[in-house]
């Protein structure tokens, strides 16, 4: 549905997209050109939550609609800061476009592929996203629309020189997190993701070039942090969700040399979507043991014959010590007298509070307060002084051991002897 609005006597066409989270998302012509590009359209074919749909059947949503939602919330946040005198119209447009492109570099199965990249190449979807913005048709579209692709590439991944603009897109008050919590909660049916994002957005301010929050919205911030923590425990790190994901990661790692999944060629990279890769994996010729196992894991994933979790331990304080995964796998296999290939060690880690755009752990939040007719005052509140958030601050580290059903008892006994009490 195309309509027109008046902006200083100039008619500006826009499109409105119906969305279950935000009702309507407004898209402008220069944004629509990016959205309509094949590189961006591929995000429709990359699930937001990888294997979570095998536990939460409704979790079929994609990186595509999340990117639109992030742009929408970032645009609302930019408008609030524009009204308060911190941004102009060009800044708002840049923030919207950077938010739209923040996930452009995701590979098949979203964050799962990140784990494969880390094992093989030590790079991330942000590195690939920046490359796509600079070297693909995405950059050409940005340039033709009169924007700076280098600046947008930096802003999209938290590297621009304007810290508070970076924080609108990624960090503890980010549009990215507000959208994914609401969207993931809606599509999984999980009741944990309750975020009063409008209250947070309208309470945003800037202090010392950093994003700050009106003190009156502190409760909404607390609720959002607790929602995120609960979503990690109940959805993102759910033991059966991770079972499916461990199988996919292992399958992709084993098949990488055959299928060149971690290619540096961006033309090949953008062809890879969830269904494209799973079809390649289940069609592998078992020319050697690695490819046979890669194919078997992919077929069992597709048929939902998932690995069983036989050991789980959650670490908050103190954090999990360094674990040599290969040595632990060998030790459990030896004690249980099964092939080490049937023992799967999964270590899941996340900061309880989102990292800042600099990728450092957030230690505080800047609060703004105003009394009467006096000037606004801002101060830094340590996370340790926000009781509920402090209680979950730090990291959530989870160590799990998985195996196939037929080896369940043997591996469970061995893991308990070696690792100590099973705290499932």
**Is position 277 within any domain?**
no
**More confident: 387 or 340:** 340
Whether residue 422 lies inside any domain: the answer is: no
Domain count, the chain: 1
Mean pLDDT for 309-318 is 86
Whether the ω angle into residue 281 lies within 30 degrees of 0, i.e. cis, is: no
- For range 166-182, the mean pLDDT: 95
Task: Calculate mean pLDDT across residues 37-63.
Answer: 97
Give the pLDDT score at 221.
93
Coil, strand, or helix at residue 295? helix
Backbone angles phi, psi at 338, to 5 degrees: -130, 165
Closest CA to 73 of 233, 232, 181, 189: 181
pLDDT in tens, 190-217: 877 788 999 999 999 999 999 999 999 9
CB distance 307 to 242 below 8 Å: no
Beta bridge partners of residue 381, listed in sequence order: 365
Tell me if 127 sits within 8 A of 105, measured CB to CB: yes
- 322 compared with 415, residue with greater pLDDT: 415
Q: Would residue 395 count as lying in a domain?
A: no
Residue 82 lies in a domain: yes
In the predicted structure, residue 224 carries a pLDDT above the cut 80: yes
Task: Please report whether residue 120 resides in a domain.
Answer: yes
Local confidence band at 3 (pLDDT 50, 70, 90 cut-offs): very low
pLDDT tens digits, 250-265: 999 999 999 999 999 9
pLDDT (tens digit per residue) in 344-369: 999 998 887 787 777 777 788 999 99
Residue 294 covered by a domain: no
> What is the model's pLDDT at position 10?
38
Using DSSP bridges, classify how beta strands 23-27 and 308-315 pair: parallel, antiparallel or unpaired: unpaired
Please say if the pLDDT value at position 218 is more than 60: yes
The answer, yes or no, to whether residue 421 has pLDDT greater than 90, is no
User: Quick check: is 164 in a domain?
Assistant: yes
Q: By percentage, how much of the chain surpasses pLDDT 70?
A: 96
Instruction: Report whether pLDDT(7) > 60.
Output: no
pLDDT tens-digit series, residues 139-171: 999 999 999 999 999 999 999 999 999 999 998
The answer as to whether 266 is a domain residue is no
Rounded Cα–Cα distance for residues 368 and 391 (Å): 23
| For residue 308, pLDDT beyond 80 | yes
Q: Which residues of 300-323 are buried (b: 16+ CB within 10 A; e: fewer)?
A: bbeeeebbbbbbbbebeeeebeee
pLDDT at 12: 60
Domain CATH code at residue 59: 1.10.3210.10
């Amino acid at each position: 549905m195309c309509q027109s609005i008046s902006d200083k006597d100039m008619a500006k066409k826009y499109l409105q997209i119906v969305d279950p989270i935000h009702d309507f998302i407004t898209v402008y012509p220069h944004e629509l050109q990016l959205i309509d590009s094949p590189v961006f359209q591929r995000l429709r074919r990359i699930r937001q939550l990888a294997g979570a749909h095998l536990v939460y059947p409704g979790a079929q949503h994609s990186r595509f609609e999340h990117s639109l939602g992030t742009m929408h919330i970032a645009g609302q946040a930019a408008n609030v800061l524009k009204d308060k005198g911190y941004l102009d119209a060009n800044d708002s447009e840049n923030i919207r476009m950077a938010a739209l492109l923040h996930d452009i570099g995701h590979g098949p199965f979203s964050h799962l592929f990140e784990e494969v990249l880390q094992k093989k190449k030590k790079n991330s979807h942000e590195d690939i996203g920046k490359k796509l913005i600079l070297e693909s048709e995405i950059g050409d579209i940005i340039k033709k629309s009169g924007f700076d692709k280098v600046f947008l590439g930096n802003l999209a991944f938290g590297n621009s020189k304007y810290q508070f603009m970076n924080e609108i897109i990624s960090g503890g008050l980010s549009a990215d997190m507000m959208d994914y919590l609401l969207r993931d909660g809606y599509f999984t049916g999980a009741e944990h993701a309750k975020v009063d994002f409008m209250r947070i957005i309208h309470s945003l301010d800037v202090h010392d070039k950093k994003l700050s929050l009106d003190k009156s919205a502190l409760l909404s911030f607390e609720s959002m942090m607790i929602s995120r923590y609960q979503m990690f425990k109940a959805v993102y790190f759910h033991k059966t969700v991770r079972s499916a994901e461990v199988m996919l990661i292992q399958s992709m790692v084993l098949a990488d040399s055959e299928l060149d999944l971690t290619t540096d060629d961006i033309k090949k990279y953008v062809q890879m979507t969830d269904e494209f890769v799973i079809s390649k994996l289940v069609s592998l010729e078992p020319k050697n043991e690695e490819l046979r196992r890669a194919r078997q894991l992919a077929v069992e994933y597709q048929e939902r014959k998932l690995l069983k979790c036989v050991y789980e331990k959650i670490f908050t304080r103190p954090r999990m010590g360094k674990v040599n995964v290969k040595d632990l796998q060998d030790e459990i296999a030896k004690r249980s007298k099964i092939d080490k290939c049937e023992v799967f060690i999964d270590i899941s880690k996340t900061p309880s509070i989102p990292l800042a755009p600099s990728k450092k752990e957030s230690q505080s939040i800047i609060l703004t307060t105003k009394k009467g007719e006096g000037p606004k005052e801002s101060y830094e509140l340590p996370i340790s002084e926000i009781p509920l958030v402090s209680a979950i601050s730090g990291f959530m580290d989870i160590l799990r051991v998985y195996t196939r059903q037929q080896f369940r008892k043997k591996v469970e006994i061995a893991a308990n002897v070696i690792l100590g009490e099973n705290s499932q």
